[in-house]
Amino acid sequence: MTPSARLEAAIEILTSIISERRPAPDALKGWGQAHRFAGSGDRAAIGGLVYDALRRKASSAYLMGADTPRAVVLGMLKRERGLDGEAIARLASGGQYAPAALSDDERARLDGASLDGAPAHIAGDYPDWLDDAFAQSFGDQRAEEGAALASRAPLDLRVNTLKADREKAAAMLADLKPEVTPWSPWGLRIALAADAKAPPIHAEPAFIKGFVEVQDEGSQLAALFSGAKPGEQALDLCAGAGGKTLALAAMMENKGQLFATDDDKRRLAPIHERLTRSGARNVQVRTPKSVHTEIDDLQGRMDLVLIDAPCTGTGAWRRNPDAKWRMRPGALEQRVKEQADILDRAVGFLKPGGRIVYITCSLLDAENGAQVRGFLARHTDFTAAAPGEGVVPGARRSAEGVLLTPQTTGTDGFFVSVLRHS
C-alpha cells in the first residue's frame, strides 16, 4: 500500500472507532480481516497512524477546527509526526486510494494553527471532565503531564535474575539494539519507530528460555519498591497475569513463599506458563473456587501483601490511548470503592509488623493519595511511606506514596505506597 492509501485506511478505521465506539484493537482487526491484501508492514503502519490519532485526538481537532476523523488524522500528522502542510498535501492528494485533497481551510490550518492559548485538557489530550482531577494531581503542570502521557511508549523488558543477568540478556537481543533502562536495575528498553512493527519478542530465544519478560519500567519499579526479600511470606492479592508475581519471585531468589491469587480466575490463566518459563519455584497459585476461601489459611501469616489494584488505568494511556476517550465518570467511582474494599481485606493477612504495598497504574489522587488517607483513617495502627527514595530522582513524592509519570520519569504512570502495620 502507498503512504496515501495507508492514511485513507487510518481515517476509515478511526471513523469506525468513533462512530461505533469500538475498541481500537477490534476495529483494526476487523479492517485487516476485510482487507487481506494488506501486508504486516501495512497493518503496522496503519495501526501506528490510528493510535497516534487517538493519542492526540483533542489537540489535533483543535488545530484543525473540527473533530471529524479526517481532521483528527490530518492534525495528528502535524502535531505528532511533525509534517508540514506541503508534506500532508502530498499524502492527501485526492489521487487513487488517497484521501480527498486538502481544502483551503485545512491547508491554512496546517500551515498556521497552533496550540497557543489552548485549554489544559486540549494541550494535554485528555477528556475535559478529568481536568479537575488532573489539576488536583498536577496543578499548572497538568497539560505537560497529559501531553507526555499521550506520547508513544517504548518496549521495556525485565531481565529475570533467576536465570540471567542484564548483560547476558542484552547480548542475546543484540539485533534489537536494547539499551539499559535509566532506573530499574533489571530493565532493557527497545525504541520503536512510529511505523515499525513491534519485534516478535515472544519468538526470541531470550524470551523462550525465560531470561526476559515484557514489563514497563514503571511496573518493574513498583515491584522493586515492595522490598520483597528472600525467606519472606508474601501474597500477591491481585496477581492477574503474573507480571509483578514473577518480579517478586526473582527478588525473593526462590526462597520463602509467594502466593498469587486474583478474584477473576480468567486473569490468572497466563500465570502458570509464565511461572514455568521463569524458573520460579516458590510460588503457589491459588485459583479462586468460591469467594475468598482459597486463601483463608493465609490469615495473619504474611510479611508482605501486594495489591496491584484495579484502577482506571490512566497511567497506561500511552499503551491504550483509546481507553481515555471511552472512560466515564462512573468508572472512577466504582474503582475507588473496589480499592478500599481490597485494602481493608488485605489487613487480615498480615502478621504484626507486616506491610501492604498498594500500587495503581493511575495518576488520579482519588485512587492514590486520597485512597491511602482514607485507609489510614480507618486503620490507625498503620503508617504510610513513599518508597524508593533516591532511586528515581524525578518522581513525585508525598506523605502517602510515590508517583511515577511519563513526564517526570519516562515510565508509565504508577503510584506506590507502603502501608506498614505498627
State the DSSP string of 349-387.
Answer: TEEEEEEEEEEES---GGGTHHHHHHHHHH-TTEEEE--
Q: Minimal CA–CA distance to 194: which of 63, 60, 45?
A: 45
DSSP code string of 137-187: HHGGGHHHHHHHHTSPP-EEEEE-TTT--HHHHHHHTGGG--EE-SS-TTE
Query: Is the separation of the CB atoms in 98 and 4 below 8 Å?
Result: yes
For residues 262 and 294, the answer to whether their CB atoms sit within 8 Å is no
Residues taking part in catalysis: 361
* HSE-CB of 292 using CA atoms within 13 angstroms: 9
Compute, in degrees rounded to 10, the torsion defined by CA atoms 396, 402, 405, 410. 90
Distances (CA, A) of 95 to 2, 92, 109, 172, 392: 11, 8, 22, 46, 51
Gap between the Cα atoms of 127 and 321, Å rounded: 12
β-pairing verdict for 396-397 and 302-308: unpaired
Instruction: Give the C-alpha separation, 201 to 191, whole Å.
Output: 13
H/E run at residue 4: helix 3-20
Question: Nearest 5°: phi and psi at 96?
Answer: -60, 130
The answer to whether 40 and 20 are in contact (CB under 8 A) is: no
Nearest in space to 414 (alpha carbons), one of 314, 347, 325, 337: 314
SS3 126: coil
Residues in the chain: 422
262 among the known binding-site residues? yes
How many CB atoms are closer than 10 A to CB 226? 24
Largest CA distance in the chain: 72
Q: Provide the β-strand partners of residue 358.
A: 307, 417
| 264 assigned to a ligand binding site | no
Is residue 239 within 8 A of residue 245, CB to CB? The reply is yes
- R_g (Cα) of the chain, nearest Å: 23
Annotated binding site for S-adenosyl-L-methionine: 262, 308
Annotated binding site: 262, 308
